[in-house]
Amino acid sequence: MTSPESAATPSPRRSLPTVSSGQGAAGCHGRGNREAAAASGETSEAVQELLRDYPLGPHDQPQGMCPAFGSLRVGLRMRRTATILSGSACCVYGLTFTSHFYGARRTVGYVPFNSESLVTGALFEDIREAIEKLADPQHYDAIVMTNLCIPTASGVPLDLLPKEINGVRIIGIDVPGFGVPTHAEAKDVLTGAVLRYARREAEAGPVARPKDLVQDGPTVALIGELFPADPMGIDALLRPLGARVGTTVPPREWRELYRALDADVAAAVHPFYVRAVGEFHAAGRTVVGSGPVGAEGTAAWLESMGEALGAGASRTGEAVDRATAATRAALEHQGIRGRIVVSGYEGSELLVARLLVEAGAEVPYVGTALPRSPWSDPDREWLESRGARVQYRASLEQDVEAAREADPDLVLGTTPAVQAAKEGGTPALYFTNLISARPIFGPAGAGGIAEVIRGAIGGRERLARMRSFFDGVGTGHATGYGHVGVPERRLTASERHARARADRSGKAGEAA
C-alpha cells in the first residue's frame, strides 16, 4: 500500500556519476569519487552541501572506520528510532558488525540493491516501501534512512521521501565516504538533520513537552558526544552563573531536541558539529566555542558563557574564581612530566592537549582528523602560543612522522599510530578508548587524566623488555619467520594496480 505522498511521487533517480563499486582505485572513501561528482556539476544538492560543510584538507579521506558508523551510532542511541541503511552488502555488514560490537542491541534495517534497481530507480521504491512497512507510531517516533556511497553517488533522492508516515518522522541522510571525511562529522550529519526537523516542528506549532524541562533559569545545550559524567561537571560550573545544562546533543530521544533548541546558549564543546551549530543559529541561539578544560581553559570558557548568558561581571568573576581554584588544586595534585604527542579522530584532541599542557606536559604536536573550525580557534591559539603545532585533517602519515620527530615520552593516537609508536619503543595509548572515555572538563577532568598518563609513561621499561623478547621474529610480511625461510613479499592490491597502470602508460607512450 502506498501513502498519498508516495503515490504522487515518480520513481526518480538523479543523474550523477556512478561508481562501479565501493572500492575504487582511490579506496572506498577516495577523493576521486568526490572530485568526479563535484567536477561533473551534476551533484545532487545533498552532495553539494556535504562538499561545502565538510571540506577536504591535507587529510582528504578517512583512514579509520566507514564514516557512516558515526551517524548510525547516533541513530541507534536514540530511543524509539529505527535505522535503515542502503548500500553495498559488504558496507552494511561492516557497519552492523561494528554497531553490535559497540553494544547497539538494536536492529539495523537494510534495503539492498542490484544494478537494475539502481539504474531504473526501483531502489527508491524499495526504500519507500521499507519505510512504510516500518512506520508504526506504536514503536517509533522517527525512522532514519541512510544512503551509503553507492546510492548517494547514484542519486537516490531521499529528500523526495514523505516527511512523515503515520505520525512517524522520516529523516533521510546521505553519508557517503566521498562526502563525509570522518565518522565524527557523520554524527553531525544526523544531529543537524534531526535538529532541523525538530526546529521546523517547533516553528510550525506546539510540540510535546520535554521531560525535566528547566524553567527557573537559563540553560545551555552541550554539543558533542561527551563522557556521561562531563555534563554533570559542566552543570556544576554553570550554576554559579545562575544557569544549568539543559541537555546534550546528539540526543537520546526526540523530545530532547526541543529542550536543546529551547536552551539560551549552545556550547560547541566538540567543534566539528557545523550543521548542528547552524540549527542553533537558525533558532536564534548564541553559540560558544572551546570547553572548560584546565584552569585557564575553564576561566576563559566561563567568561564567554557569562557574557553569552548576560550573567554580569561580578557573578561571572565569582564563578571563574571558584572554578579556577578547584581546577588548579586538582592539577597541582596530579602533575604530569613528559613530552606527549596527541592525535586522533574524535574532535576533542585540542581540548585534551590543553589539559595535558596545564597539567605540566610538553605537547609539541596535536593532529586531528577533523577540519579547522571557529569553535576550536581559542584552543588552537592557546596551544600554538605554547609551542604546539596543530595539524587539522591530519593524515596517519603526518601523525606518525610528528611522533618520530618529537621523540616523545608518550603518544596518544589512533590504533595504527599507537602501533607505530610501540613498534619504535615509545609508550602509546589509544585516544578513543582510553582518553575519550573519561571526564576531561573542570576539576574532575583535571584530576582524572593524570593517573592514566603517568602510568603509560612509566611503561617504557616494560615496552623495552617486550621488544627485546620479540627481537628477531621478523616484521611485516616476514612476521613469525625470523631470518629463516622468509617468503617473498607479495605486492598489495594497490601496488599491483600501480604497476599495471605504469605498464599501460609505458605501452601507450611507446605506441605514440
- Tell me whether residue 465 is exposed, middle or buried, using C-beta atoms within 10 angstroms of its C-beta: 0 to 12, 13 to 18, 19 or more: exposed
By CB under 6 A, which span of 84-92, 107-115, 388-396, 429-437 interacts with ligand SF4? 84-92
By CB under 6 A, which span of 65-73, 182-190, 281-289, 459-467 interacts with ligand SF4? 65-73
Q: Which is nearer to ligand SF4, 22 or 408 (CB)?
A: 22
Distance, in Å, from the CA atom of 345 to the CA atom of 222, rounded to the nearest integer, reads 20
By CB under 6 A, which span of 61-69, 107-115, 429-437, 497-505 interacts with ligand SF4? 61-69
DSSP run (H or E) holding 380: helix 377-384
Binding residues for ligand SF4, total number by CB under 6 A: 14
List of E strands, 310-399:
339-344, 362-368, 389-391
Q: Does 183 bind ligand SF4 (CB under 6 A)?
A: no
Distance, in Å, from the CA atom of 268 to the CA atom of 249, rounded to the nearest integer, reads 10
Beta carbon of residue 278, minimum distance to ligand SF4 (angstroms, whole number): 24
Pick one of 6, 14, 28, 378: the residue that binds ligand SF4 (CB under 6 A).
28
How many angstroms separate the Cα of 23 from the Cα of each of 32, 166, 173?
11, 38, 21
Q: Does 29 bind ligand SF4 (CB under 6 A)?
A: yes
Q: Does 46 bind ligand SF4 (CB under 6 A)?
A: no
Beta carbon of residue 183, minimum distance to ligand SF4 (angstroms, whole number): 9
Beta carbon of residue 95, minimum distance to ligand SF4 (angstroms, whole number): 7
Largest CA distance in the chain: 81
Q: Report CA dihedral (99, 101, 106, 109) to the nearest 10 degrees.
A: 50
By CB under 6 A, which span of 86-94, 109-117, 406-414, 490-498 interacts with ligand SF4? 86-94
Considering only CA atoms, give the Rg of the chain: 25
Handedness of CA 154, 160, 162, 164 (dihedral sign): positive
How many angstroms separate the Cα of 390 from the Cα of each of 218, 260, 338, 413?
35, 31, 19, 14
Q: Which is nearer to ligand SF4, 91 or 311 (CB)?
A: 91
Q: Does 189 bind ligand SF4 (CB under 6 A)?
A: no
Pick one of 30, 87, 218, 364: the residue that binds ligand SF4 (CB under 6 A).
87
Q: Which is nearer to ligand SF4, 22 or 192 (CB)?
A: 22
Pick one of 145, 148, 245, 363: the residue that binds ligand SF4 (CB under 6 A).
148
Q: Does 91 bind ligand SF4 (CB under 6 A)?
A: yes
Pick one of 151, 162, 172, 177: the residue that binds ligand SF4 (CB under 6 A).
177
Pick one of 36, 46, 66, 74: the residue that binds ligand SF4 (CB under 6 A).
66
Q: Does 22 bind ligand SF4 (CB under 6 A)?
A: yes
Distance, in Å, from the CA atom of 446 to the CA atom of 216, rounded to the nearest integer, reads 30
Residue type (1 letter), 504? R
Q: Does 179 bind ligand SF4 (CB under 6 A)?
A: no
Assess contact for 165 and 141: CB atoms under 8 A.
Answer: no
Q: Which is nearer to ligand SF4, 29 or 128 (CB)?
A: 29
Per-residue contact flags (x/-) with ligand SF4 for residues 305 to 334, judged by CB under 6 A: ------------------------------
By CB under 6 A, which span of 85-93, 217-225, 321-329, 499-507 interacts with ligand SF4? 85-93
Taking CB atoms, the residue at the shortest distance from ligand SF4 is 177
Residue type (1 letter), 440? I
Distance, in Å, from the CA atom of 217 to the CA atom of 244, rounded to the nearest integer, reads 7
Beta carbon of residue 127, minimum distance to ligand SF4 (angstroms, whole number): 16
Assess contact for 300 and 290: CB atoms under 8 A.
Answer: yes
Q: Does 361 bind ligand SF4 (CB under 6 A)?
A: no
Residue type (1 letter), 302? L
Q: Which is nearer to ligand SF4, 37 or 440 (CB)?
A: 37
Q: Which is nearer to ligand SF4, 67 or 378 (CB)?
A: 67
Omega of the bond prior to 17 within 30 degrees of 0, cis?
no
Assess contact for 130 and 71: CB atoms under 8 A.
Answer: no
Q: Does 245 bind ligand SF4 (CB under 6 A)?
A: no
| Exposure string for 10-37, b = 16+ CB within 10 A, e = fewer | eeebbebbbbeebbbebbbbbeebbbbb
Pick one of 118, 135, 149, 263: the residue that binds ligand SF4 (CB under 6 A).
149
Binding site for ligand SF4 (CB under 6 A): 22, 28-29, 66-68, 87-88, 91, 94, 148-149, 176-177
